[in-house]
Amino acid sequence: MTEKEKTQSDPKDLMEKLVSLCKRRGFVFPGSEIYGGLANSWDYGPLGVELKNNIKKLWWKKFVQERGDMVGLDAALVMNPKVWEASGHVATFNDPLVEDKKTHERFRLDHLLEAAGENVSGLGFEAMAAKAKEINLKSPKGNELTDAKQFNMMLETYLGPVKDEENKVYFRPETAQAIFVDFQNSLETSRQRIPFGIAQIGKAFRNEITPGNFIFRTREFEQMEIEYFVKPTEWEKYFEEWLENMKSWMRDIGISEDKLHFVEIAEADRAHYSKRTIDVEFDYPFGQKELYGLAYRGDFDLKSHQDKSRQDLEYRDPETNEKYLPHVIEPSFGVDRTILAVLISAYTEIEGGRSTTTEAIKEAEVVLRLDKKIAPIKIAILPLSKKEELSVPAKQLADKLRKRWMIMYDESQSIGKRYRRQDEIGTPYCITIDFDSLEDKKVTVRDRDTMLQERIAIDDLENYFKEKLDY
């Protein structure tokens, strides 16, 4: 980088710029766009799905494959409704809802109270409703509000041809409960011993009253969750261990550490069964909000499912023969919020550009400094000319490297513009093939971050990239 260049890692209007880049380059599209869209639904496009898959694969590798004490699960999305009675979701998975009497817009009462400067921390539904009356709370447009209602966030549907109460089921509002329901089956078949954990990645659905902020809060989203089963006396040790594991994960994927906050949730705000909860919060452009959660849930879930199902869910220690319900540490990761946090962390604008070619490119240049492990495209192959002399060997090279890594081939426009296109989507390496390559059988490899260019023999490329890209 030359002196005249100034890097802005947190530019103004960052969300607007990110949403636009995501659409323009194929990371995230508005859902159902050709039909005018569906509010707050988003589709991951060609680059977005690569980024998402890389994040999920890396998470699975770190937390399942590389550990002897973890196993995986991929449970059905729609479960027996009794699951959600036992878990407490039917009775208590509620948001306090109020409606503007004039416009009929709906709001979350806790959000409105907070906006009015009230501290809602630790207030239950009744207390919040009373507070709203006491201060004569109005809607953001200054209109009267309806009385608060408890609004259950579970999305309902019906299985089978008859739409009656008997056939009513719920789309799961979290992936975690299936882990408890499948606890005994997983334990018996994997022959694990305490402490051990079960991990699951999958979609979850919540009928959020106020979705928004791009992919931050949607009604359909993806979670990566772990239940780690421990001896009741050892929970504190494993809580600390999982906190460290979460920090290490965030470093692995390049989430800016200076934007992270670890918020201890006070007793009054925690679920009654939890002795400790930490919210991992991130500085999004729209404020400091939750990214992940870490909770100690005691034996609440296994106990509820044991009582409701009347099945024995206890663990028998093979050495002492002691029987008990294991306690649980739950690290919970949202996939979509991970994507938003890595994009925000990686987005860099360089005023005046940093082009290595002679052509003057004046506008700010965007470099997405994504970690190599999660970048959607690992290598771009750019022949210096469209002539067959270069394009044929360049395409052959692309086909060869494609067997191991995601490759993009691009021969249109100037090399400067092509570098910029790759920088903008976070491609860590570009290979250019020039007329000298035909003679010396070497190509130029350019590094996205250092912009250093190295001449590498074509025959050595695979080993070169194995070292740089495989993990």
Q: Which of 332, 345, 348, 355 lies at the binding interface for ligand ATP (CB under 6 A)?
A: 332
Give me the DSSP letters along 390-415: HHHHHHHHHHHHHTTS-EEE--SS-H
Q: Does 331 bind ligand ATP (CB under 6 A)?
A: no
Q: Closest CB to ligand ATP among 208 and 410?
A: 208
Q: Closest CB to ligand ATP among 143 and 207?
A: 207
Give me the DSSP letters along 62-119: IIIIT-TTEEEE---SB--THHHHHTTHHHH-EEEEEEBTTT--EEEHHHHHHHTT--
Q: Closest CB to ligand ATP among 223 and 306?
A: 223
Q: How far is CA 295 from CA 134, 221, 300, 330, in A?
A: 34, 20, 12, 5
Tell me the three-class secondary structure of 427-445, residue by residue.
CCEEEEECHHHHHHCEEEE
Q: Does 48 bind ligand ATP (CB under 6 A)?
A: no
Q: Which residue is nearest to ligand ATP (CB)?
A: 334
In whole angstroms, what separates CA 171 from the centre of its chain?
19
State whether the Cα torsion 314-317-323-329 is positive or negative: negative
Closest CA to 184 of 376, 325, 345, 339: 325
Q: How far is the CB of 223 from ligand ATP (least distance, A)?
A: 5
Q: How far is the CB of 303 from ligand ATP (least distance, A)?
A: 20
Q: How far, in Å, CA of 277 to CA of 264, rounded?
A: 6
Q: How far, in Å, CA of 372 to CA of 376, rounded?
A: 9
Q: How far is the CB of 39 from ligand ATP (least distance, A)?
A: 13
- Total residues binding ligand ATP (CB under 6 A): 15
Q: Which of 50, 100, 110, 208 lies at the binding interface for ligand ATP (CB under 6 A)?
A: 208
Q: How far, in Å, CA of 346 to CA of 375, rounded?
A: 10
Q: Does 180 bind ligand ATP (CB under 6 A)?
A: no
Q: Which of 27, 84, 107, 221 lies at the binding interface for ligand ATP (CB under 6 A)?
A: 221
Q: How far, in Å, CA of 460 to CA of 463, rounded?
A: 6
Q: How far is the CB of 110 from ligand ATP (least distance, A)?
A: 10
Q: Does 336 bind ligand ATP (CB under 6 A)?
A: yes
424 Cβ neighbours under 8 A, 6+ residues apart: 21, 25, 366, 367, 368
Q: Does 63 bind ligand ATP (CB under 6 A)?
A: no
| Strand residues in 249-371 grouped as ranges (E) | 260-264, 276-284, 287-298, 315-316, 323-324, 327-334, 347-351, 365-368
Q: Which part of the chain contacts ligand ATP (CB under 6 A), choosing from 24-32, 214-222, 231-239, 306-314?
A: 214-222
Q: Does 213 bind ligand ATP (CB under 6 A)?
A: no
Q: Which part of the chain contacts ligand ATP (CB under 6 A), choosing from 16-24, 82-90, 117-125, 332-340?
A: 332-340
Q: How far is the CB of 217 from ligand ATP (least distance, A)?
A: 4
Judged on CB neighbours under 10 Å (0-12, 13-18, 19+), 222 is buried
Q: How far is the CB of 327 from ligand ATP (least distance, A)?
A: 18
28 Cβ neighbours under 8 A, 6+ residues apart: 19, 22, 42, 43, 44, 45, 48, 214, 215
Report the site for ligand ATP in 236-265 (rule: CB under 6 A).
Answer: none
Closest CA to 304 of 455, 89, 456: 89
Q: Does 171 bind ligand ATP (CB under 6 A)?
A: no
Q: How far, in Å, CA of 64 to CA of 74, rounded?
A: 13
State whether the Cα torsion 246-251-257-260 is positive or negative: negative
Q: Does 292 bind ligand ATP (CB under 6 A)?
A: yes
Q: How far is the CB of 336 from ligand ATP (least distance, A)?
A: 5
Q: Which part of the chain contacts ligand ATP (CB under 6 A), choosing from 82-90, 124-132, 331-339, 417-425?
A: 331-339
Report the site for ligand ATP in 120-159 (rule: CB under 6 A).
Answer: none
Q: How far is the CB of 321 from ligand ATP (least distance, A)?
A: 36
Report the site for ligand ATP in 345-364 (rule: CB under 6 A).
Answer: none
Judged on CB neighbours under 10 Å (0-12, 13-18, 19+), 342 is buried
Q: How far is the CB of 228 from ligand ATP (least distance, A)?
A: 15
Residue 158, classed as helix, strand or coil, is strand
Q: Which of 87, 139, 223, 422 lies at the binding interface for ligand ATP (CB under 6 A)?
A: 223
- Both tokens of 44, joined, read 């991951």
Q: Which part of the chain contacts ligand ATP (CB under 6 A), choosing from 249-257, 305-313, 328-336, 432-440?
A: 328-336
Pairing of strands 429-433, 379-383: parallel
Q: How far is the CB of 289 from ligand ATP (least distance, A)?
A: 6
Q: Which part of the chain contacts ligand ATP (CB under 6 A), choosing from 63-71, 137-145, 218-226, 376-384?
A: 218-226
Q: Does 217 bind ligand ATP (CB under 6 A)?
A: yes
Q: Which part of the chain contacts ligand ATP (CB under 6 A), choosing from 129-137, 238-246, 329-337, 431-439?
A: 329-337
Q: Closest CB to ligand ATP among 206 and 448?
A: 206
Q: Does 290 bind ligand ATP (CB under 6 A)?
A: yes
What residues make contact with ligand ATP under the rule CB under 6 A? 174, 206, 208, 217-218, 221, 223, 290-293, 332, 334, 336-337
